Amino acid sequence: MINLSADLGEGAADEEEIWPLIRSANVACGGHTGDEASMRHAAMRARQFGVRLGAHPSYPDRASFGRVTMAITHDGLRQSLRQQIDALAANAPLHHVKPHGALYNDAHRDRELAEIVIGVLDGLAIVCADASQMALAARARGVRVIREAFADRRYEPDGSLMSRKLAGSLLTVAEAVEQVQLLMRSGQVIARNGARIEILFDTICIHADMEQAAERLRAIRSAIDK
C-alpha cells in the first residue's frame, strides 16, 4: 500500500477527515504553529488510526508561518529544532522528522543547513526529497531517508517545489490525481517548464492546509485503489 502522508496539527478545517486516510503524519510542533494541546490531540489521533507520527519543525517564526527564510544563528536553529522535536516526542514515540516550509526548501539546497537538521534527529528518520542535500547528509551519517514526493504541488526542474506565490504552484484535485498516477506509473512528475523529472519516493504527501485537502486525498486514495 502506498504510504500517503500529510502535514497536520496546523489548524486546517478538515484535518479530522484526513487522519483515517493516511499512514504517516508530520505534525507541527511549535515553530510555525502548534501548541501543547494540538500536539496532544495529534498524538491521540495517530494512536487511534495507527498512523506513524513524525515531527514537523520549522524556523521559529510563527508570524510568517515558517514560510520565509530566517536569519538565525546555527546554534539558535539547532536549539529550536531540538525543542520542537522534544515537545512532540513528550506526547508519543516519534518515527521521523520532516522540516517545514522555508527550512525544508533551504535545506534542500544548502548542505550546511542540511547538516544542522540531520544533526538533531537523534536516531529518527528524515523525510525529504531524494535529490536534496538533506538526503546526502543523512546517508553520509547512516541516517534513514524516507524519500518524499508531493501530490499537490508543482515542481521546479531541479526537483524543488515551486513557490506558493507563483500561479499554478498549487495543484487542483484533478491535477493532483494525475500527478500521483504519473508518479506510480513512471516515478516522474511534469515540472514547471513542461519537462518530466524523476522523483524517487517512499511516501506521497498532501498538505492539509490547502483548500479541498480532504477531497484531494480521497480522490487520490480512490485512484490508487483502482
Q: Using DSSP bridges, classify how beta strands 196-198 and 125-128 pair: parallel, antiparallel or unpaired.
A: unpaired
Q: Residue 158: its pLDDT value, please?
A: 87
Whether the CA torsion 28, 29, 35, 38 is positive or negative: it is positive
**What confidence tens digit (pLDDT) does each residue in 107-166 have?**
999 999 999 999 999 999 999 999 899 999 999 999 999 999 999 999 999 888 898 889
Whether the predicted pLDDT of 1 surpasses 80:
no
* Domain 3-225 -> CATH class: alpha beta
What value does the mean pLDDT take over residues 214-220?
95
> H or E segment at 204?
strand 203-207
Residue 27 grid coordinates:
505534525
Residue-level pLDDT at 134: 98
Q: What is the pLDDT of residues 16-52, one digit of tens each?
A: 999 999 999 999 999 999 999 999 999 999 999 999 9
> Any idea where the domains of the chain sit in the sequence?
3-225
Averaged confidence pLDDT in the chain? 95
What is the predicted pLDDT for the residue at 93? 97
Query: Is the pLDDT at 192 greater than 90, yes or no?
Result: yes
Residue 224 pLDDT level (bands cut at 50, 70, 90): confident
Average pLDDT over residues 175-181: 96
What is the model's pLDDT at position 164? 87
- Taking residues 65-73, report their average pLDDT: 95
pLDDT over 90 (residue 225): no
Place of cell 491521540: 44
pLDDT-above-70 percentage for the chain: 100
Spell out the residues 6+ positions from residue 207 whose beta carbon is closer than 8 angstroms to its own: 6, 7, 150, 152, 153, 213
